[in-house]
Amino acid sequence: MIFPLGYKYASTYAKIRKAKKDDLALIVSDAPAVAAAVFTQNRVKAAPVILAQKNLKSSRGKLKAIMVNAGNANCATRTGAEVARQTCQAAAQALAVHPNLILPCSTGVIGVELDPTRITKALPGLVKKLSPHSFQQVAEAIMTTDLVPKTSSAEISLSGGSVTIAGMTKGSGMIQPNMATTLGFLMTDAAIPSALVPTLLKQATDVSYNRISVDGDTSTNDTLVLMANGASAVELTSKDQDLFLEALSRVAQELASKIARDGEGARKLVTIQVNGAKSDDDATRIARGIANSPLVKTAIAGSDPNWGRIISAAGNSGADFDPAKVSIAMQGVLVCENGLAADFSEKQLKKRLNDRDCLIQFQIAGKGKGKSKFWTCDFTEGYIEINGSYRT
């Protein structure tokens, strides 16, 4: 794993969650970075999401630090807005910058008041711990029901020299209204024109975070941030833009697929490829329909090559296609050809479906050029166990 220049990280235990495990973290750029973020589309938005949007707007896309806590989503509480404001102010003071340069993120239970003094008291010590070497600790501090920390990085040779992207993320129920959320933080040391940052982030998000599903629920706290501090002194020219976007998308996809693999109770990462749809949007609609079908996901948990459920889920997705032109492969084995059962050994395929990785290819014959890649996980008893008793 390689890291971009000019960032420092720190985490600590601020007693926000019961388990004694770091729950408060900072990601700080030495010089304020240009930045963009995408947020949950849920109509119920947590207080830190609302303040983060406001801060990014008033700072015109400048960002000094991301402040994140786990263990409490600071959502649907009486004091939420004030808690977010106070803690951002305290972080700004400790870092000697304007409060609108702080982006707050919270993840955890909804509807429980968050005591701001736990954060404000911990901040001075946290700032003292900032180090370029604590990236991994922060990736661990933001975990909730995650079983593993999730990180990814890439180095790209641009015309002006080499730049680095590193990212971390959390999440294992794509939506946990209770433990809330996917958070994702992408840092690069490339020098990127401010106006370009939101575009790059949106394009990378569209092929990564917007292409995963664990349970089809969207949280109240989802936040994905891209910071670019220029510490490499390498400018992103328009000539290099595609190269950079490709690497950024790859890092975002790796992070996003790690969330799907770590889906609550999941044993398998399921990759869904759709080709030949009328448009990319239609292809994504089909892929999402398959990824969100509990019947498909339970079949995969049981290593059952039940392609009838796959074509039925696609038919139910709202996308426009002719079922008689559909072929489906699982683990590379053709199971459905032109909408009908293909000739394959169910016994052999069942064995191969025991792998930790499952590939579903959904191909529509004809002139359509629409394609999409999507990630999800299988659906096991573990999901029910985790979510039937989360708060108790």
Report the interface residues with a copy of itself, using CB under 8 A: 41-45, 73, 75-78, 109-112, 173-178, 215-220, 292-295, 298-299, 301-302, 304, 306-316, 319-321, 323, 336, 339-341, 350, 379-381, 383-385, 387-392
Between 66 and 179, whose beta carbon lies closer to a copy of itself? 179
Burial 324-342 (b: 16+ CB within 10 A, else e): eebbbbbbebebbbeeeee
- The nearest distance, CB 83 to a copy of itself, in angstroms, is 13
Q: Of the candidates 61, 238, 244, 65, which has an alpha carbon nearest to the alpha carbon of residue 163?
A: 244
Measured between alpha carbons, how far apart are the two ends of the chain, in Å?
A: 38
Q: Is the dihedral of CA 222, 133, 136, 15 positive or negative?
A: negative
- The nearest distance, CB 293 to a copy of itself, in angstroms, is 5
Residue 264 DSSP label: T
Q: Of the candidates 193, 256, 203, which has an alpha carbon nearest to the alpha carbon of residue 228?
A: 193
- The nearest distance, CB 84 to a copy of itself, in angstroms, is 16
Between 246 and 381, whose beta carbon lies closer to a copy of itself? 381
Q: Which residues are catalytic?
A: 181
Between 226 and 287, whose beta carbon lies closer to a copy of itself? 287
- The nearest distance, CB 282 to a copy of itself, in angstroms, is 11
Between 198 and 323, whose beta carbon lies closer to a copy of itself? 323
Between 9 and 307, whose beta carbon lies closer to a copy of itself? 307
Q: Compute CA 171 distance to the chain's CA centroid, rounded to the nearest angstrom.
A: 7
Q: What angle do CA 206, 293, 268 make, to 5 degrees?
A: 75
- The nearest distance, CB 137 to a copy of itself, in angstroms, is 28
- The nearest distance, CB 364 to a copy of itself, in angstroms, is 12
Asked if 107 and 142 touch (Cβ cutoff 8 Å), the reply is yes
Asked if 224 and 187 touch (Cβ cutoff 8 Å), the reply is no
The beta-strand segments (E) located in 79-144 are 102-109
Instruction: Tell me how far apart the alpha carbons of residues 369 and 377 are, in angstroms, rounded to a whole number.
Output: 26
Instruction: Tell me how far apart the alpha carbons of residues 118 and 126 are, in angstroms, rounded to a whole number.
Output: 12
Between 6 and 177, whose beta carbon lies closer to a copy of itself? 177
Provide the 3-class DSSP secondary structure of residue 247: helix
How many Cβ atoms from other residues are within 10 Å of residue 304's Cβ? 15
